[in-house]
Amino acid sequence: MPGQVATLAELDPEELVAQVRAYNPKSNDKLIREAFAYGMAMHEGQSRQSGEPYFSHPVAVAHILAEQRLDDATIITALLHDTIEDTKSTFTEVEKRFGRDVAELVDGVTKLTNLQLSSTETKQAENFRKLFMAMSKDLRVILVKLADRLHNMRTIKHMRPEKQVQKSRETMDIYAPLAGRMGMQWMREELEDLAFHVLNPEARASIIRRFIRLQRESGDVINKITSDIRKELDRAGISADVFGRAKKPYSIWRKMQEKDQPFSRLSDTYGFRVITHSEMDCYGVLGVIHQRWRSVPGRFKDYISQPKSNGYRSIHTTVSGRDGKRVEVQIRTREMHEVAEAGVAAHWSYRDGVRAENPFAVDPAKWLAALTERFENSDDYDDFLEHVKLEMYTDQVFCFTPKGEVVKLPRGGTPLDFAYAIHTRIGDSCVGAKVDGIRVPLWTRIKNGQSVEIITAEGQSPQATWLDIVVTGRAKAAIRRRLREEDRERFIKLGRELARVAFEHVGRRATDKALETAAKQLGLVNTDELLAQLGSAELAARDVVATLYPTAKEGGEIDARRAVVGLDPGQTFQRAECCQPVPGERIVGISYRGKGVMVHAIDCHALEELAEESSRWVDVQWHSGQHAAVHTVSLDVVIANDAGVLGRICTLIGEQKANISDLRFIDRKPDYYRLIIDVDLRDIEHLHAVMLVLEADSDVAEIRRHRDLARAP
């Protein structure tokens, strides 16, 4: 409904009548006007939380349904859906004025409104059963209810904060998955995003900011890729429409959680649709796209030859597009697209005054009838709820223990995720698994409804490779914790030797008393923790020495803890990992509550997001004088894949009096290696010297400073 409704007088039935008549010239204009006038009269004097007349809400719901080209009865039901519940109107009066069909629809919506779907588990199961019973009688009831929820979510900011959270959680858990299961993907995405805005506004804002920055850095990617696809189709003589869009913030967030990756690592954040004139053209488009761009293995699905149960048909493929960016492409005909966009509404929609004949529209009432038939006379509400959730939550997997208990996992979950979901002890001691009675590898992806049995053995412990198998945060955290515990003894032994060497270097001894004092100064619980951090490289031995003997630096070097001037007394600082500033570079500080000051290079892109927060900016500069070679900088280096090259590179760095603190391979090819080398340096001149000597080597193809915005604080 266009614009904000300010007063009751501004509500115009002709706007709605014109919208309906545009797709259904045979609509009953008179009856719609009567329903409009009746609803306005019944709700007279009632207001919404925003202060608007209450009737503005039913009108907005009617407009949402008119956008789906639905029949007169559904539009009229939208106008009257709150009359029986909230006004003096009755079922009998609605039936007398607007017919039995409308009265039953209004009554059905009223009953759904009274169901507390987010209540306790037992009551929730019972109410779910009533919900699906009502839906199975006339599916238009749930169409009105979903439109009702959509408008309420669009105007949720006027509710009390606690009510916003409750409604958003209910929307995320029930109404959004329900809309998706019924094929109304656009509604699911909008409901999820509106709920996400309330439940996690910081995460949503962060993703939007990343999109804006990405667009600023790489230009209008959507238009570029859309143009590329159109050119290829024109060259092949295929007529089709091409559309591109950035994926919704919640969709991106969910993928980040599922893959346990930051935004910068996600590749397919854009989606493209190609709408063709025939099914044959769909496969022709697929051939053109795969011929022009490299397809990503495991990311191809043909829902045309194997449609989804709600009638959805489309070809999905992911390719490495422009500049190596992964993009998802959906290919379908116009009729398939209408069903994909409208879902169940396609079954009820009108065009030119008659019900639209779409060969791909499936009546979801058959799905609902099949689901509810088994439970029509059942009192086993838990069993009913279990099966309903199996049907609705298509992005989750519900599986069972041998005793029949339900375990919920994200899609892609493995037997290891299942084991850790039951108990950490079960996960740690897992040696195998059976799915539906058959022994399977631990990396098997569990499907809905499968029974999983975990096989354990004493003495078994997690393997590092398990981290690549599991998908749940709980399993990953438990595995990492156990691996750290097992490595702890080895790290303590190594840490003691590192401490001995570091202390002897400055003419001191690493006595138990000295180590205990250093641990206390560094805020660690005991000596073992200090030694474990030394052995695992979480703590540098030189920092332990400097804690006790700050004047023991070689050659009168500046203490690294006091390398920056301009701080308040007692204020601490850290170098930002995103830009890794070194002495000699212009810097700026950003204050963080409880964390001190984070020092960034003046040209760091992370500062763009903080431009409006001038109160947090701190004017700092590097201390003049000789700095210790303790400032780590990451170098992105491409070298020839030949014998002895890597060793020579390390020697060149060592000859410059620079220490390599870490080295990791990013890419391995037959002819070259790409790696990130972390080097400890004194200052910007030291950095330039190291880069210059490497750049001069004939086996170094490329070298640049590596900066990672994903590591910004």
Render pLDDT for 543-574 as a digit per residue (tens, 0 to 9). 888 877 664 444 457 778 888 888 887 788 99
Look at 168-182, 354-368, 470-484, 599-613 and tell me which has the smallest mean pLDDT: 354-368
Angle at 259 between CA 257 and CA 263, to 5 degrees: 70
Helices 56-67 and 140-154 cross at an angle (nearest 10°) of 120
State yes or no: pLDDT of 356 exceeds 90: no
The whole-angstrom separation of Cα 214 and Cα 212 is: 5
State yes or no: pLDDT of 386 exceeds 60: no
State yes or no: pLDDT of 377 exceeds 60: no
Angle at 453 between CA 450 and CA 456, to 5 degrees: 155
Element (H, E) at 51: none
- Of the pLDDT bands very low, low, confident and very high (cuts 50, 70, 90), residue 648 is confident
What is the mean pLDDT of the segment spanning 341-356? 67
What is the mean pLDDT of the segment spanning 594-607? 87
- Of the pLDDT bands very low, low, confident and very high (cuts 50, 70, 90), residue 9 is low
Look at 114-123, 314-323, 508-517, 623-632 and tell me which has the smallest mean pLDDT: 114-123
Note the pLDDT of residue 552: 46
Note the pLDDT of residue 218: 62
Does one domain contain both 268 and 346?
yes
Tell me, yes or no, whether 521 lies in a domain. Answer: no
Tell me, yes or no, whether 441 lies in a domain. Answer: yes
Which stretches of 99-200 are DSSP H helices?
100-113, 121-137, 140-154, 161-170, 176-181, 185-199
Taking only the tens place, the pLDDT of each residue in 468-488 is 898 877 788 788 888 877 778
Q: Which of 29, 34, 86, 363 is catalytic?
A: 86
Does one domain contain both 346 and 424?
no
- Of the pLDDT bands very low, low, confident and very high (cuts 50, 70, 90), residue 696 is confident
State yes or no: pLDDT of 515 exceeds 50: yes
The CATH number that applies at residue 683 is 3.30.70.260
Does one domain contain both 330 and 399?
no
What mean pLDDT value characterizes the chain? 82
* 661 vs 711 pLDDT, higher one: 661
HEC readout, 657-694: CCEEEEEEEEEECCCEEEEEEEEEECCHHHHHHHHHHH
Element (H, E) at 461: none
Sign of CA dihedral 420, 423, 424, 425: negative
Tell me, yes or no, whether 279 lies in a domain. Answer: yes
Given 328, 355, 382, which residue is the final one in a domain?
A: 355
Query: Could you list the residue range(s) of the whole structural domain that residue 667 is in?
Result: 631-711
State yes or no: pLDDT of 167 exceeds 80: yes
Note the pLDDT of residue 572: 86
Does one domain contain both 409 and 342?
no
Given 324, 355, 386, which residue is the final one in a domain?
A: 355
Does one domain contain both 223 and 319?
yes
Does one domain contain both 350 and 426?
no
Closest CA to 18 of 8, 4, 5, 33: 33
Does one domain contain both 224 and 337?
yes
State yes or no: pLDDT of 467 exceeds 50: yes
Does one domain contain both 343 and 399?
no
Which range is most confident: 278-292, 331-345, 549-563? 278-292
- Of the pLDDT bands very low, low, confident and very high (cuts 50, 70, 90), residue 191 is very high
* 6 vs 605 pLDDT, higher one: 605
Does one domain contain both 322 and 400?
no
Element (H, E) at 486: helix 473-505
Taking only the tens place, the pLDDT of each residue in 681-690 is 989 989 988 8
Note the pLDDT of residue 4: 44
Does one domain contain both 406 and 345?
no
Quick check: helix, strand or coil at residue 377? Answer: coil
For tokens 């999109």, the residue is 211
* 177 vs 386 pLDDT, higher one: 177
Does one domain contain both 701 and 640?
yes
- Of the pLDDT bands very low, low, confident and very high (cuts 50, 70, 90), residue 1 is very low
* 217 vs 188 pLDDT, higher one: 188
Look at 59-68, 291-300, 344-353, 601-610 and tell me which has the smallest mean pLDDT: 344-353
Tell me, yes or no, whether 586 lies in a domain. Answer: no
The CATH number that applies at residue 263 is 3.30.460.10
What is the mean pLDDT of the segment spanning 34-51? 89
Does one domain contain both 218 and 351?
yes
Element (H, E) at 475: helix 473-505
Q: Which residues of 96-117 are buried (b: 16+ CB within 10 A; e: fewer)?
A: ebbeebbbbbbbbbbbbeebeb
Q: What percent of the chain has pLDDT over 70?
A: 83
Note the pLDDT of residue 417: 92
Look at 147-156, 179-188, 392-401 and tell me which has the smallest mean pLDDT: 392-401
* 584 vs 710 pLDDT, higher one: 584
Note the pLDDT of residue 110: 83
State yes or no: pLDDT of 310 exceeds 90: no
Q: What percent of the chain has pLDDT over 90?
A: 28
- Of the pLDDT bands very low, low, confident and very high (cuts 50, 70, 90), residue 354 is low
Q: Which residues of 44-80 are buried (b: 16+ CB within 10 A; e: fewer)?
A: eeeebeeebbbbbbbbbbbbbbbebbbbbbbbbbbbb
Q: Identify whether 335 is a catalytic site residue.
A: no
Q: Which of 85, 193, 302, 497 is catalytic?
A: 85
Reading the block at residue 513, the tokens are: 């008393």
The CATH number that applies at residue 433 is 3.10.20.30
> What residues have CB less than 8 Å from 681, skipping those under 6 apart?
582, 629, 631, 632, 633, 658, 687, 690
* 430 vs 217 pLDDT, higher one: 430
Look at 265-279, 587-601, 623-637 and tell me which has the smallest mean pLDDT: 265-279
Per the structure, how many domains does the chain have?
Answer: 3
State yes or no: pLDDT of 525 exceeds 90: no
* 139 vs 310 pLDDT, higher one: 139
Tell me, yes or no, whether 647 lies in a domain. Answer: yes
Tell me, yes or no, whether 28 lies in a domain. Answer: no
Q: Identify whether 29 is a catalytic site residue.
A: no
Tell me, yes or no, whether 19 lies in a domain. Answer: no
Quick check: helix, strand or coil at residue 272? Answer: strand
Tell me, yes or no, whether 306 lies in a domain. Answer: yes
